[in-house]
Amino acid sequence: MNYVAFDTQSSEETGTTPSTEKQRVFAQYLKEELIQEGLQDVVLDDLGYLYATLPANTDKPVPTIGFIAHMDTSPDASGQNVKPRIISNYDGKDIQLSPGIVTSIEKFPELLDHVGEDLIVTDGTTLLGADDKAGIAEIVQAMVYLTQHPDIQHGTIRVGFNPDEEIGLGAHHFDVVRFGCEFAYTMDGSEVGEIEFENFNAASAKITLNGCSVHPGYAKGKMVNAARIATELVSMLPADETPETTEGYEGFFHLTSISGGCEHAQLTFIIRDHDREYFESRKSELTDIVEAINEKYGPGVATLDLKDQYYNMREMVELKMYIIDIARQAMTEAGITPHIKAIRGGTDGAQLSFKGLPCPNLFAGGLNFHGPHEFLPVQSMEKAMMTVVNICKHTFNHIWSV
């Protein structure tokens, strides 16, 4: 409840790291809190990344492991002046957040999975910020729990809190060498029991169209209408391979913006697929379409700027599947049924995995992120906290080859 009072929205407009100074304010607060709770090597670097250590309480050789969460909240909805409240023993009915603002069972049926629990909600004018302040709270509380229960033996545990995850930059400046872990977990998932170690391969594409404007009454053989070509180009893509027509492991082309007129037009896409081969095929398909446009309308009418963003972390995690086994054991011991699912999106863990830190994503408990109907069951937070504790315990008990 205290954490979400900090407005930590990130911004795609500033070009700085962190992208907003208010994230640094929250980071400084967390730094002081971690010191007060007895963690060591607490460092807040110039880019707003916060690292800390809970030292091992055993001499047994155990890999150093880490837990990571992000401090920023989404630019999609306001994070200013968040007013959280707890609905105790939720009765399974529609929730009035404020007069005229209702979180309904019809629209959000997942509420019914949490009848009888204590739900943290907003007043309906802001997001809550459980994404990912719930993850931060769970990690911090787990470190406190381990400090208060020295009978639970564990190796060195590292904690990392980063800015700018919501704008896709959270892992860019994360210092994997300084973090010094063999593996880690991001606590940034949703419903209880989620274990995610598969995500989309991702690319961005910007297509610029250069036309030729001529008086429409005398345009035959002369005009090249960039705006019309833009619509033609979109029609050349598979109509049933878009976000609104796909699910599960199905990939897509997503037109995120289109603008322009006769003289110039621009389209931006994101390309997503879990399968690396299909991902490469999608990029080739878009490249071929641009070439076909140039063949039809002339060289240089269409130019493509295509950039890979991140890859499916499964490639890296599969090399150390004991990371997933430990998470499963940890959840089962906490009375949770593990649910392995693929992320239809990205995660800091994907980029970190390809930087040498295998890093699957675990549930943090919040639901309906990025909007005013976001809610967080307290009991889900407790289960996530105990999952962290149990991971530390099972890492200690795991038989490590020398």
Does residue 384 lie in a domain region? yes
Mean pLDDT in residue range 232-238: 98
- Regarding whether 266 and 138 lie in a shared domain, the answer is no
Per the structure, the complete domain to which residue 90 belongs is given by: 3-199+313-397
On the question of pLDDT at 183 being above 90, the answer is yes
pLDDT > 90: percent of the chain: 94
Q: Which CATH number does the domain housing residue 212 bear?
A: 3.30.70.360
- The amino acid present at 8, given as its one-letter code, is T
On the question of pLDDT at 84 being above 90, the answer is yes
- Regarding whether 162 and 210 lie in a shared domain, the answer is no
Q: Would strands 339-342 and 194-198 be described as parallel, antiparallel, or unpaired?
A: parallel
**pLDDT tens-digit readout, 129-169:** 999 999 999 999 999 999 999 999 999 999 999 999 998 88
Active-site entry in 131, 164, 165, 194:
165
Domain boundary among 308, 337, 370: 308
Domain boundary among 254, 287, 308: 308
Does residue 65 lie in a domain region? yes
Distances 342 to 21, 69, 74, 189 between C-alpha atoms, Å: 33, 19, 21, 11
Does residue 402 lie in a domain region? no
- Regarding whether 274 and 247 lie in a shared domain, the answer is yes
- Regarding whether 148 and 117 lie in a shared domain, the answer is yes
On the question of pLDDT at 386 being above 80, the answer is yes
Number of domains in the chain: 2
pLDDT for residue 39: 98
- Regarding whether 211 and 195 lie in a shared domain, the answer is no
pLDDT for residue 210: 97
Radius of gyration of the CA atoms of the chain, in A: 24
Residues 6+ apart with CB under 8 A from 27: 18, 44, 48, 49, 50, 71, 161, 163
C-alpha–C-alpha distance, residues 29 and 31, integer Å:
5
- Regarding whether 337 and 293 lie in a shared domain, the answer is no
- Regarding whether 234 and 92 lie in a shared domain, the answer is no
Does residue 190 lie in a domain region? yes
- Regarding whether 108 and 135 lie in a shared domain, the answer is yes
Range 284-290 contact pairs with CB under 8 angstroms and sequence separation of 24 or more:
285/237, 286/205, 286/237, 286/253, 289/233, 289/236, 289/237, 290/207, 290/233
Mean pLDDT in residue range 273-289: 97
What band does 401 get if pLDDT is binned at 50, 70 and 90? low
pLDDT > 70: percent of the chain: 100
**pLDDT tens-digit readout, 86-129:** 999 999 999 999 999 999 999 999 999 999 999 999 999 999 99
The encoded tokens of residue 225 equal 């209408």
Burial class (CB in 10 A: 0-12, 13-18, 19+), 182: middle
What band does 357 get if pLDDT is binned at 50, 70 and 90? very high
- Regarding whether 344 and 205 lie in a shared domain, the answer is no
- Regarding whether 37 and 161 lie in a shared domain, the answer is yes
C-alpha–C-alpha distance, residues 358 and 186, integer Å:
10
C-alpha–C-alpha distance, residues 145 and 392, integer Å:
11
pLDDT for residue 347: 83
- Regarding whether 114 and 155 lie in a shared domain, the answer is yes
Active-site entry in 72, 166, 188, 374:
72
Average pLDDT of the chain to the nearest whole number: 95
Global confidence as pTM: 0.88
**Cα dihedral 120, 124, 125, 129 sign:** positive
Judge whether 41 counts as a catalytic residue: no
Residues 6+ apart with CB under 8 A from 357: 66, 176, 179, 181, 183, 184
**pLDDT tens-digit readout, 261-274:** 999 999 999 999 99
On the question of pLDDT at 402 being above 60, the answer is no
Task: Return the exposure string of 307-324: e unless at least 16 CB atoms fall within 10 Å of the residue's CB, then b.
Answer: eebbbbbbebbeeeeebb
Judge whether 291 counts as a catalytic residue: no
Domain boundary among 267, 290, 308: 308
Does residue 134 lie in a domain region? yes
Does residue 37 lie in a domain region? yes
Q: Which CATH number does the domain housing residue 341 bear?
A: 3.40.630.10
- Regarding whether 325 and 284 lie in a shared domain, the answer is no
